[in-house]
Structure 1
Amino acid sequence: MRPEPAGCVTSVQGARTALALLPRRRPATLPGREPAGRTVTVDREHLARYDRVCGFRLTDTLPATYPHVLAFPLALRLMSAPDFPLPLAGLVHVANRITVLRPIDAGTPLDHTVHAADLRPHHRGRQFDIVATVVADGVQAWRGVSTYLCRERRGERRDPGGQPERPAASARWTVPPRVGTDYAAVSGDHNPIHTSRLGARLFGFPRPIAHGMWSEARCLAALEGRLPERYSVDVAFRLPILLPAAVAFTATPAGTGWDFTLRSAGGDRVHLTGSTTAPH
């Protein structure tokens, strides 16, 4: 398979995404076909732009969240396909798990595969996972599981895990309005809830909101130098970050890794909770 450079979503994918937003009859189960795959080479200029947007240092080793961006075109193609059982519009990214099995050098061609798994009921609709893997030099180097919720009914909002304790903030960040458009440009995720005030209002938000994966990446960037070469990170996306915003990041040692939280600077809104662990 000929390697292709990493980049943003193509116009063809954009057209498919737009068609996927139209109402239509859908199958009841996830597609049963083989995982979609492609081989990519990392564009170092693109990687540098991603690093800057998310706060990572500029190195040739890929940040843990960068392979998610490389796999996103395949995931988008899968979720916007005619045989996908849930509409793309309104899907909510509620959780993410990444396992870094070995460091990945930017000069290594990467084989990606993506498939959907575990369509299951939820008290507000249905959930499913998008599972992505990266193979480098013939060895699996990375795995990501993104959990999405399709909200199909109203109900009492349940706060997963309750309110975490509020230790002193490790850092405070100002999140400018351009984070939505800047991250969209490097990730290919141009969902209008992140880039357009009108688009955000159509989905019930007064202003555009930050991408959940930007929030996760920004937290991991704050932990650079304190994470091992091999680790797993689990994140739950809680309340959205309305742009612009002031947020407080807290990280505390926990076992073999870290527990971390991203909340509003006032401390009353939890945006993200996460933890890192050394793989078994």
Structure 2
Amino acid sequence: MALVPPLLRAALPSVPLVNQLPGVKKAPAAGFSGLTRTRPPVTVEREHVEAFARVCGFPRKDDVPLPYPHLLAFDQQMAIMSDPAFPAPAIGTVHLENSITRHRRIAVGETLSVLAHVGAPVPHPKGTVYDFVTEVRAVDGPDAGELVWQETSSYLRRGTPDPAASFGTVLPEAEPSGVVWRLPADLGRRYAAVSGDRNPIHLYPLTAKALGFRRQIAHGMWTMARCVAALENRLPDAVRVDVAFKKPVFLPGSVAFGSAPVDGGYAFSLSSPSSGTSHLAGRTTAV
């Protein structure tokens, strides 16, 4: 299995019969307590940062865009999801929420350590949620070992509902402010090229239809990043950003952005310009 590409390895548990093979078959959720993966220290490269910034709408700077370190942990998250000990197949698991806390700005050229961890499953009214926690720490200098960035990504695996469980974070509303972004058909492929997230639902109409979508959809993390880019010059160095992903954004398509001041930060949103359907709700909070 070590020679199988990560995306294929992640998809195999969703294939009937194949998903019963040793090394592919998933362990039951009962008794699962968690998994952790790390990577060797990584130096932030300007070329990669600028490619991410171009796709997501950030200006060119000497520090990284707030969501950028998510990319540094993507392989670790995929390794966890692909592990037979992790109960849920990656394909079909839905990204519900994301929370990022930046404790300080991270400079281009810094060397960082990256750890990804998932704990025991959490009941949800529609199934089970797995919270993936990422910790990014400084490696060199006087603040070596300091936690500089952290993230919680919450993923839903539909299944036996728990009516008593929480639906998740409640976020303030932000009405559209007249800004409409038109998203090209190849946006998913462009973001995949810099993020490494080549889930077929984001790439082409045919690959998306094979997984139940009428055509390809934008990455949730791109929608978060694009909203943060619109607010970037108003955010403090130490800040938390929370988002809830609502309905998928089909490509090509258009989305209306909205933002409004709230206590300690900003509420923001993405919605359909025609129907008003909510795609994303979020807020920033100074820390």
Question: How has the CA–CA distance of structure 1 residues 110 and 20 changed in structure 2, closer, same or farther, with 3 Å as cutoff?
Answer: farther
TM-score normalised over the length of structure 1: 0.88
Aligned twin of 1:26: 27
Separation in structure 2 between the aligned mates of residue 71 and residue 166 of structure 1, nearest angstrom: 30
> Does residue 116 of the first structure (1) align with residue 118 of the second (2)?
yes
Aligned twin of 1:265: 273
The alpha carbon displacement at 1:46 in A equals 1.3
> Does residue 236 of the first structure (1) align with residue 244 of the second (2)?
yes
Q: RMSD value over aligned CA atoms?
A: 2.5
Separation in structure 1 between the aligned mates of residue 130 and residue 244 of structure 2, nearest angstrom: 15
Separation in structure 1 between the aligned mates of residue 88 and residue 176 of structure 2, nearest angstrom: 41
Letter in structure 2 aligned against 1:27: P
Separation in structure 1 between the aligned mates of residue 252 and residue 10 of structure 2, nearest angstrom: 27
Separation in structure 2 between the aligned mates of residue 272 and residue 53 of structure 1, nearest angstrom: 19
Separation in structure 2 between the aligned mates of residue 56 and residue 118 of structure 1, nearest angstrom: 35
Deviations 1:40-88 (A, max 9, x none): 1122111111100000011121111100011101110111111111111
Aligned twin of 1:206: 214
Tell whether the 8 Å contact from 2:129 to 2:155 is kept in structure 1 after alignment. yes
For structure 1, which segment, 31-40 or 193-202, has the greater mean C-alpha deviation from structure 2 after superposition?
31-40
Deviations 1:101-156 (A, max 9, x none): 01100111010001102411222211110100100132110000000001126999
Separation in structure 1 between the aligned mates of residue 188 and residue 213 of structure 2, nearest angstrom: 14
The correspondence for 1:88, drawn from 87, 90, 96, is 90
Aligned twin of 1:254: 262
Matches within 5 A, 1:120-131: 120-131=122-133
Tell whether the 8 Å contact from 2:99 to 2:241 is kept in structure 1 after alignment. yes
Deviations 1:2-59 (A, max 9, x none): xxxxxxxx97434433444442342324354554343111221111111000000111
Question: How has the CA–CA distance of structure 1 residues 27 and 42 changed in structure 2, closer, same or farther, with 3 Å as cutoff?
Answer: same
Separation in structure 2 between the aligned mates of residue 154 and residue 198 of structure 1, nearest angstrom: 31
Letter in structure 2 aligned against 1:277: T
The alpha carbon displacement at 1:198 in A equals 1.9
Tell whether the 8 Å contact from 2:178 to 2:257 is kept in structure 1 after alignment. yes
Aligned twin of 2:188: 180
The alpha carbon displacement at 1:164 in A equals 7.0
Matches within 5 A, 1:90-169: 90-136=92-138, 137-152=144-159, 167-169=175-177
Separation in structure 1 between the aligned mates of residue 96 and residue 80 of structure 2, nearest angstrom: 18
Tell whether the 8 Å contact from 1:101 to 1:142 is kept in structure 2 after alignment. yes
Tell whether the 8 Å contact from 2:34 to 2:117 is kept in structure 1 after alignment. no
Give the secondary-structure state (helix, strand or coil) at the position aligned to 2:234: coil
Separation in structure 1 between the aligned mates of residue 79 and residue 100 of structure 2, nearest angstrom: 21
Separation in structure 2 between the aligned mates of residue 180 and residue 257 of structure 1, nearest angstrom: 29
Structure 1 unaligned blocks of 5 or more: 1-9
Give the secondary-structure state (helix, strand or coil) at the position aligned to 1:83: coil
Tell whether the 8 Å contact from 1:128 to 1:147 is kept in structure 2 after alignment. yes
Tell whether the 8 Å contact from 1:65 to 1:217 is kept in structure 2 after alignment. yes
Letter in structure 1 aligned against 2:80: L
Separation in structure 2 between the aligned mates of residue 166 and residue 251 of structure 1, nearest angstrom: 5
For structure 1, which segment, 56-65 or 92-101, has the greater mean C-alpha deviation from structure 2 after superposition?
56-65
Structure 2 unaligned blocks of 5 or more: 20-24, 139-143
Aligned twin of 1:7: none
Separation in structure 1 between the aligned mates of residue 272 and residue 168 of structure 2, nearest angstrom: 17
Separation in structure 2 between the aligned mates of residue 11 and residue 46 of structure 1, nearest angstrom: 25
Identity, % of aligned positions: 42
Tell whether the 8 Å contact from 2:187 to 2:218 is kept in structure 1 after alignment. yes
Question: How has the CA–CA distance of structure 1 residues 263 and 155 changed in structure 2, closer, same or farther, with 3 Å as cutoff?
Answer: farther
Number of corresponding residues: 269
Separation in structure 2 between the aligned mates of residue 113 and residue 162 of structure 1, nearest angstrom: 28
Separation in structure 2 between the aligned mates of residue 166 and residue 75 of structure 1, nearest angstrom: 31
Deviations 1:142-201 (A, max 9, x none): 000000001126999x99789975634152110111111000111100000000212211
